Amino acid sequence: MFVMINRMTVPEKWRGHFEEVFKTRKKAVDRRPGFIKAEILKPVEGEAYLVVTHWEKKEDFHAWVGSPEYREGHQRVKDFMENGRSVLTSKVEIFEVLAT
């Protein structure tokens, strides 16, 4: 199993909108071969949310990036612009599952 974690920093004034976007997500990724599940983790402290997706294999994840479903699932990113710049920061981390 392969896991991708996107650590997204969200300024406080944008959190409500960010959470609503994920609660009403289009679930385009759910249609991709090899996709297992997604979890959106809300911080108890700090500003970083974790977007965690689980995949059968790394190749499935890489096939998702750049796919029509990827573009569909990321359309609302433009909702997080201020003065022509994104208010979100993002750091992608990838892992293979060692043990469960």
pLDDT at 76: 78
Q: What is the pLDDT of residues 25-83, one digit of tens each?
A: 888 999 999 999 999 999 998 889 999 999 999 999 999 998 999 888 887 777 888 88
Give CA–CA dist 14/3, Å, rounded: 26
Prediction pTM value: 0.86
Q: Which of 58, 61, 38, 60 is nearest to 50 (CA)?
A: 38
Distance from the first to the final alpha carbon of the chain: 10
- Is the domain 2-96 a CATH 3.40.50.300 member? no
Domain boundaries, the chain: 2-96
b/e map of 46-71 (b: 16 or more CB within 10 Å)? eeebebbbbbeeeebbebbeebebee
Give CA–CA dist 2/18, Å, rounded: 25
pLDDT at 48: 94
Q: Is 90 exceeded by the pLDDT of residue 19? A: yes
- CB-based burial of residue 24 (10 Å sphere; 0-12 exposed, 13-18 middle, 19+ buried)? exposed
